[in-house]
Copies of this chain bind each other. A is one copy, B any other.
Amino acid sequence: MSVPRGDLAELRATVRGWCRAHVPADWRRAQTGVGGDEFVAFQQAWFQELRRAGYAVPHWPAEWGGGMSAAEQMVLYQELAAADAPRLVLAFVSIHHAAATLLTAGTDEQRRRHLPGILDGEIWVQGFSEPEAGSDLASLRTTARRDRRAGGDVFVVNGQKLWASGAAHADWCLLLARSDPAAPKRRGISYLLMDMRSPGLDVRPIRNALGDSHFCEIFLNDVEIPAENLVGPENAGWQVAQATLSAERGMTMLELAERLGNVGLRSLVDTCRRPDVTGRRPIDDTLVADRLAGFDTEIAGLRALCRDLVERHDAGTVGPADASVVKVYYSELLQRMTGFGAEIAGLGALAELAKPASSGWESGRWLLDFIGSWEWTIPGGTNEIQRTIIGERGLGLPREP
């Protein structure tokens, strides 16, 4: 953290002022229950708004439109959260995973081709998981057969991807596919950039527990991907994916923690300060007050964990299980908090049928938020897997035989 504190205070004031001027008034109400097109339009507009301010991709190198230090990014995300700005949902994979992949392992040509596109609003999707390869991602079966004869050098891809969030709106896909079926499972995978307009592609939305369909299946039937779209060496895709998955350096977790600690806790406290039919405020019940104070405390702990994670990334001292600790803690805190909100809101929570699009995981529609919290405890390696990672890589406990 080399930025002088005075400059940070100035940045904080600037961002705060910008938020006052630019965060759309009443966007939560306006975005509640909107359809997919309206959601995409709102997200794209907000992305360009942030981009104009220099706040869309602060973590990118300066030459590509970013250039904020970790300390500055922390201030930015704290202020966006404090102002309850809409979240960047649709661009998430584009500005984080796709960008990190391109910046870390891509060629100059690939970077020049795609990074400006992302800034202009190109949407990316992650094509990693498969029906039989969830937590055990390395067992993926989608094949990429290299074919140099067919009028060019291409990978011909066949298979099926699952849990591709936002695939219905995506322009490009980060694809992992098995290019050497004979190699050990982590040694035969290649990392490809796939144009979502390619022939042979079929995207089918999957309805989730909330009734939304942001997750999709992608069916791949002899889809041809030019060999120039290979990232990293052939058959080294697993290593590329590992290296870039954590490239957001803790900042997205920090943003989520700030969201939880701002609008999340505030809404929960507000829910508990609202008198019930008998005129009593739940917060005056020590049982409720105790839980609220517990959440306040846990959020403070989460924020400290996240700041620490960002600082360790920055200092190069990040441990192999640090991100897992944060993920387990955040996701289960989110689940406890939203679950408690649903309990306090009682029957009323059942009658809230839609939550605002572009909001965080704690929209204040507590039962919907509660159900949505499994979207944090399951994907990206279930919390059971994360605990194994913490035990083995974080604490050095012996692996299963």
Q: Which residues of A contact B (CB under 8 A)?
A: 285-287, 290
Contacts and interface: CB of A to CB of B under 8 A. Distances in A.
Q: Which 5 A-B pairs have the closest CB atoms?
A: A286-B287, A287-B287, A287-B290, A286-B286, A285-B286
Contacts of A285: 286
A286 B289 CA distance: 10
Number of copies: 2
Contacts of A290: 287
Nearest to A288: B286
A237 B392 CA distance: 38
5 contacts: A285-B286, A286-B286, A286-B287, A287-B287, A287-B290
Contacts of A286: 285-287
Nearest to A290: B287
A290 B290 CA distance: 12
A286 B287 CA distance: 6
A290 B286 CA distance: 10
A63 to B, nearest CB: 52
Contacts of A287: 286-287, 290
A401 to B, nearest CB: 9
A250 to B, nearest CB: 33
A17 B385 CA distance: 59
A47 B290 CA distance: 48
Nearest to A291: B287
A286 B285 CA distance: 7
Nearest to A286: B287
A264 to B, nearest CB: 23
A156 B290 CA distance: 62
A286 B290 CA distance: 10
A222 to B, nearest CB: 37
A285 B285 CA distance: 8
A78 B285 CA distance: 37
A287 to B, nearest CB: 4
A127 B287 CA distance: 48
A132 B325 CA distance: 33
Nearest to A284: B286
A281 to B, nearest CB: 13
A296 to B, nearest CB: 16
A382 to B, nearest CB: 17
A289 to B, nearest CB: 8
A245 B286 CA distance: 46
A285 B287 CA distance: 8
Nearest to A285: B286
A290 B287 CA distance: 8
A346 to B, nearest CB: 16
A290 B285 CA distance: 11
A44 B261 CA distance: 62
A285 B290 CA distance: 11
A295 to B, nearest CB: 15
A94 to B, nearest CB: 41
A380 to B, nearest CB: 26
